[in-house]
Copies of this chain bind each other. A is one copy, B any other.
Amino acid sequence: MISVIILGAGNVAAHLFNAFDGTEQVHVKQWYNRSIKSIQSYKNKVVITDDLSQLEKADVYIIAVSDDAIANLSTKLPFENRLVVHTSGSVNVHDLDKKNRRGVFYPLQTFSKAATLNFENVPICLEVLDKADLKTLKSLAKTIGSSTHKVNTDQRRALHLAAVFVNNFTNQLYRVAHEITESKGVEFDILKPLILETAKKVQDISPYMAQTGPAKRNDKKTIKKHLQLLESAQHKAIYELLTASIQKTHGRKKL
C-alpha cells in the first residue's frame, strides 16, 4: 500500500485522485487545497484540508498546482526529507524546496474536467534526484495502469513542447477546419472519421511515412485552388507555412 497526499485542485489533481481512489493499492490520506471550497464535494471520500500544518505523513506528496505556484507551496511544507513531486511538464525539479526529496510525476495527456480518463492511456514521465525514489514513483504509476518513462529535465521539456504541437495546435487545425466547413454550411461531423484515422495511422507508422496530400505531391494546381478558397488571411498563412514545412520534410522545393 502506497500512501499519497494530493495538493491542488485542478484537473490533474482531480483525475489523479479519482484514479488512486479506484485502486486498492493506494491510500489517499489527505487532499489539500488552499481554498477548501474547490474540493468540498470530495469530503466523504477523503480527508480534505486547507491547512498545511495538518498534513500527515505519507509516502508521496503530489503537488498538482499551477506552474507558478509550485515552488512557493513546496517551501511551505512543514516537514523534511519526504518525497515531494510536482506534475508539471516544464517546471524544474530543483524548483521544489530542497528540504525534501524531490521528483517529477508528469502525466502526459490532455485533462478536462468532464471526461473520465483511463490512466492506461496516460504515460507518466518520471524524474527523481534520489534514485531510490524512482521505485516508489514507478510502483505508484503502475497501480493506476500507467506506463512510466524516466526522462531528464531537457527531455521532459521537449515532450511538453511537442505535446503543444500534437494537442493544442492540432486542435486549432480542427478549429480552422470547423470554420471552413461552417462557412459553406456543411457539417464538420463529416470530418470526424478522418480526424480519428489520421491519429490512428501514426500509432503504427511514423508521421513521415503517413504523409499524403497536395503539399507532399507538390501538386501546385490544388495548392493554388486551396489558397484561393481560403477567405481568412490567417488561414492562408497557416496553409502556406505548413505546406512549406511538409515540402521541407519531404525534400520538395519551397512554394
The count of chain A contact residues (Cβ–Cβ below 8 Å) is 88
Give chain A interface residues in 143-167, CB to chain B under 8 Å: 149, 151, 154-155, 157-159, 161-167
Give chain A interface residues in 176-206, CB to chain B under 8 Å: 176-178, 180-181, 183-188, 190-203, 206
Copy number in the complex reads 2
Cβ-closest chain B residue relative to A219: B67
A207 and B175 within 8 A (CB)? yes
Please pick, from B159, B206, B215, the residue contacting A190 in the complex, using a CB distance under 8 A: B159
Report the bound CA distance from A209 to B157 in whole Å: 26
Question: 8 A-B contacts, Cβ less than 8 Å apart?
Answer: A162-B177, A165-B176, A165-B177, A166-B194, A170-B198, A175-B249, A178-B207, A188-B206
A172 and B249 within 8 A (CB)? yes
Q: Determine chain A's interface SS by DSSP, over half rule.
A: helix
CB distance from A185 to the nearest CB of B (A): 7
Contact stretch, chosen from A41-49, A69-77, A224-232:
A224-232
With contacts A184-B154, A190-B125 known, is A115 near B201, CB below 8 A? yes
A164 and B213 within 8 A (CB)? yes
A169 and B161 within 8 A (CB)? no
CB-defined contacts of A198 to chain B, threshold 8 Å:
110, 166-167, 170-171, 199
Q: Please tell me if A23 contacts chain B, counting CB pairs below 8 Å.
A: no
B168 and A211 within 8 A (CB)? yes
CB-defined contacts of A109 to chain B, threshold 8 Å:
193-194, 197
Q: Please tell me if A210 contacts chain B, counting CB pairs below 8 Å.
A: yes
Cβ-closest chain B residue relative to A162: B177
A110 and B190 within 8 A (CB)? no
